[in-house]
């Protein structure tokens, strides 16, 4: 591999000069610059980023820690972060941290070894305290989809409560009064926050949430959706609409209903959350809350990069809002 020395030797200049033309900074004579550039091209010289990182003490790489890239939600998150990376001449180091706090911590540690100062982290299994400790050690660490009061300015989060309220209001305004919920067993705080939002919206509407109308799925996927709605149905519960924790569960619900001969939305309406591709693959297409993950991750990546080289913690927080996407899985029952 050709090094800066090779270029310097062939061009008959010092390595400092080569370094200057490579980074396009510092004064270099016009002819000298041209000569050096020519040699660079001829030799196909590419600066060694590891060496640059070593000496300049910054790696210009962004770490992205998520449960699993293959899950569309997280793939989209990674994509958003990657976009920001291109604007800043950064690269992205990605790490799947699936299933445990240890996996997440290991991923962060690996990034630290890389002297990767900017990190976007979607944690699933770490406690607020653990995250605070981490944040203290790593100035460029930013959390996505999580709000921790003490380090709110490092959190890029979605108003899940309002989102759930919005979804609920949509159902109420379509005449639904018997609303069921299919959620998932708690892992991170999302599910609980959304449940609170539903509760608020329902009581605001002068109704009250029937706690026996909550079905739980073990996992937040199709199977979990089927499981949750089956529990409700098998218990003989009656309702005209279901609020699902996310699109995957919603699709599972639609399938389960379909296999039982229950029509969506004629017999039961279903609302999802996330607005992933899957919501539009389903028949009927899902009415759902749009979760702007890509934009959030993009924003978070920029924030992480900024924080990592000047510790200006502006103290402000970073809140995004989901919004309703109306499609075909909700019917109006008010005129019945």
17 makes contact with DNA (CB under 7 A):
yes
The single residue listed with the structure tokens 């309406």 is: 269
Cβ closest to DNA, residue 23 vs residue 150:
23
Contact with DNA (CB under 7 A) among 34, 38, 42, 51: 51
Site for DNA in 282-301 (CB under 7 A): none
Helix and strand tally (H, E) in the chain? Answer: 13, 12
The binding track of 272-301 with respect to a second copy, each residue x by CB under 8 A or -, is -----xx-xxxx----------x-------
Length of the chain: 336
Q: Which helix (H) or strand (E) holds 179?
A: strand 179-184
1 makes contact with a second copy (CB under 8 A):
yes
Residue 79 C-alpha from the chain's centroid: 9
Cα–Cα distance, 132 to 294 (Å, whole number): 24
Q: Which does 105 bind (CB under 5 to 8 A by kind): DNA, a second copy, none?
A: none
235 makes contact with a second copy (CB under 8 A):
no
Buried b (16+ CB within 10 A) or exposed e, 217-236: beebbbbbbbbbbbebbeee
5 makes contact with DNA (CB under 7 A):
yes
Instruction: Copy the structure tokens of residue 127.
Output: 């406690």
Nearest to 94 by CA among 107, 76, 109, 112: 107
Is the distance from CB of 291 to CB of 72 less than 8 angstroms?
Answer: no
Both ends of the chain: CA-CA distance in Å?
A: 76
235 makes contact with DNA (CB under 7 A):
no
34 makes contact with DNA (CB under 7 A):
no
Contact with a second copy (CB under 8 A) among 75, 139, 175, 189: 75
Is the distance from CB of 336 to CB of 303 less than 8 angstroms?
Answer: no
Instruction: Copy the structure tokens of residue 182.
Output: 């299919």
176 makes contact with DNA (CB under 7 A):
no
54 makes contact with a second copy (CB under 8 A):
yes
Cα–Cα distance, 329 to 256 (Å, whole number): 14
Contact with a second copy (CB under 8 A) among 254, 289, 296, 300: 254
Contact with a second copy (CB under 8 A) among 167, 193, 251, 271: 251
325 makes contact with a second copy (CB under 8 A):
no
18 makes contact with a second copy (CB under 8 A):
no
Instruction: Provide the binding-site residues for a second copy, judged by CB under 8 A.
Output: 1, 46-51, 53-54, 59, 61, 68-72, 74-76, 78-79, 82, 91-96, 109-110, 112-115, 222, 251, 254-255, 258, 277-278, 280-283, 294
Instruction: Provide the binding-site residues for DNA, judged by CB under 7 A.
Output: 1, 3-5, 12-17, 19-20, 22-23, 26-29, 31-33, 45-48, 51-52, 54-57
């Amino acid at each position: 591999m050709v090094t800066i020395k090779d270029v310097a030797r062939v061009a008959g200049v010092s390595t400092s000069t080569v370094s200057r033309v490579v980074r396009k900074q510092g004064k270099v004579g016009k002819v000298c610059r041209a000569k050096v550039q020519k040699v660079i091209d001829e030799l196909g010289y590419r600066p060694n980023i590891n060496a640059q990182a070593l000496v300049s003490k910054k790696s210009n790489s962004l770490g992205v820690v998520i449960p699993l890239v293959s899950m569309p939600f997280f793939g989209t998150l990674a994509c958003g972060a990657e976009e920001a990376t291109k604007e800043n001449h950064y690269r992205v180091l990605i790490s799947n941290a699936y299933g445990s706090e240890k996996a997440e911590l290991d991923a962060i540690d690996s990034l630290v070894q890389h002297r990767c100062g900017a990190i976007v982290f979607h944690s699933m299994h770490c406690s607020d305290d653990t995250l605070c400790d981490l944040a203290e050690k790593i100035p460029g660490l930013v959390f996505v989809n999580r709000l921790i009061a003490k380090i709110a300015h490092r959190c890029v989060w979605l108003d899940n409560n309002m989102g759930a309220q919005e979804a609920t209001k949509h159902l109420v305004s379509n005449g639904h009064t018997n609303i069921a919920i299919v959620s998932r067993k708690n892992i991170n705080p999302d599910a609980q926050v959304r449940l609170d939002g539903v509760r608020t919206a329902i009581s605001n509407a002068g109704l009250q949430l029937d706690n026996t109308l909550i079905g739980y799925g073990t996992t937040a996927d199709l199977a979990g959706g089927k499981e949750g709605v089956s529990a409700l149905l098998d218990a003989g519960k009656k309702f005209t609409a279901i609020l699902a924790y996310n699109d995957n569960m919603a699709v599972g619900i639609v399938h389960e209903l379909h296999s039982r001969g229950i029509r969506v939305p004629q017999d039961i309406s279903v609302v999802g959350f996330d607005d992933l591709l899957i919501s539009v693959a389903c028949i009927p297409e899902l009415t759902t809350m749009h979760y702007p993950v890509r934009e959030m991750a993009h924003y978070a990546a920029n924030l992480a990069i900024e924080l990592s080289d000047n510790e200006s913690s502006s103290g402000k927080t970073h809140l995004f809002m989901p919004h309703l996407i109306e499609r075909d899985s909700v019917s109006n029952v008010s005129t019945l």
